[in-house]
């Protein structure tokens, strides 16, 4: 099952899909993100793992544009502890080709890397291969 979150104009900003074969969730982000879209997406993800516990997340930023650094404190302080309590252990992170998105995720990795296994990858296949070994 895929959950799709849309902006007011109807464009997709996040899809979430539980992959039963391998027990992982694929979160694919699209376009520019705001604090609100990151919070909405993060809480939707939290609801998903409450219904379907899953220790692995493939967080895919191939289509993300721009920075989301303003959301990193919320992710660090609120989202990370809640998802760990629900069983999240590992994040394979496909980085954005956009330099600002790339810098934002590096900042987040420094903030939460001591709480979760989070590794950054340029390629989707490499991130998935690593994630499935966790």
| Of 81, 7, 84, 82, nearest in space to 38 by CA | 7
- As a whole number, mean pLDDT of residues 99-115 equals 90
Phi, psi of 116 (to 5 degrees): -130, 150
Please say whether the dihedral angle defined by the alpha carbons of residues 28, 108, 78 and 21, taken in this order, is positive or negative.
positive
Please say whether the dihedral angle defined by the alpha carbons of residues 29, 16, 22 and 119, taken in this order, is positive or negative.
positive
What pLDDT is attached to residue 1? Answer: 80
- As a whole number, mean pLDDT of residues 1-25 equals 94
pTM listed for this prediction: 0.93
What pLDDT is attached to residue 36? Answer: 95
Burial of 60 (0-12, 13-18, 19+ CB in 10 A): buried
133 vs 48: CA distance, rounded Å: 22
pLDDT in tens, 49-103: 999 999 999 999 999 999 889 999 999 999 999 999 999 999 999 999 998 888 8
- Tokens 């954005």 belong to 96
Please say whether the dihedral angle defined by the alpha carbons of residues 30, 35, 37 and 42, taken in this order, is positive or negative.
positive
């Amino acid at each position: 099952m895929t959950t799709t979150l849309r902006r007011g104009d109807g464009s997709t900003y996040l899809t979430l899909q539980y992959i039963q074969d391998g027990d992982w969730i694929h979160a694919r982000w699209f376009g520019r993100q705001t604090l609100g879209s990151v919070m909405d997406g993060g809480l939707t993800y939290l609801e998903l793992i409450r219904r379907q516990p899953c220790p692995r997340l493939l967080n895919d930023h191939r289509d993300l544009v721009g920075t989301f650094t303003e959301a990193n404190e919320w992710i660090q302080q609120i989202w990370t502890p809640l998802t760990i309590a629900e069983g999240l252990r590992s994040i394979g992170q496909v980085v954005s080709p956009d330099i600002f998105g790339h810098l934002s995720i590096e900042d987040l990795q420094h903030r939460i890397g001591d709480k979760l296994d989070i590794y950054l990858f340029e390629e989707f296949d490499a991130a998935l291969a690593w994630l499935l070994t966790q």
